[in-house]
Structure 1
Amino acid sequence: MTENSAGPASPESGEGSNEATLVRSQERSDKVEADLEKHPGNWRLLTGDRPTGKLHIGHYFGSLANRVRLQEMGIESFLLIADYQVIYDRDGVGDIQDNVMSAVADYLAIGIDPARTTIFTHSALPGLNQLLLPFLSLVTDAELRRNPTVKDELASSDRPMSGLMLTFPVHQAADILFCKANVVPVGQDQLPHIEQARVIARRFDERYGRVDPEHPVFPEPEALLSATPHVLGLDGTKMSKSRGNTIEIGMSADQTAKLIKKAKTDADRHISYDPANRPEVSNLVLLTALCEGADPYQVASEIGDGGSGTLKKRLTASMNDFFEPIRARRQELIADQGHLREVLRAGNRRAGEIADQTLDEVRHAMRMVY
Structure 2
Amino acid sequence: MRSSRRVLAAGVAAVSLLSALAGCSRAGSGDTSADTATDKGPAAELRLGYFPNVTHASALIGLEQGLFTKELGGTKLVPTKFNDGPTEVSALLGGSLDAGFIGSGPAINAFAKSNGEAVRLVAGGTSGGAQLVTTPDITTPEQLEGKTIVTPQLGNTQDVALKKWLVEKGLTGKVNIQNLENAKTLDQFKKGDLQAAWLPEPWSSRLVLDAGAKVLVDEKDLWPGGKFPTTTLIVRTQYLKEHPQTVEALLRGLLAANAFAAADSAGAKKAVNSQLEQLTGKGLSAAVIDRSFTSIALDPDPLASTYQQLAKDAVIAGVSETETKLNGLIDLGPLNNVLKAAGRPAADAAGLDTK
TM-score between the two structures when normalised by the length of structure 2: 0.28
TM-score norm. by structure 1 comes to 0.27
Higher Rg? 1
Structure with the largest fraction of strand:
2
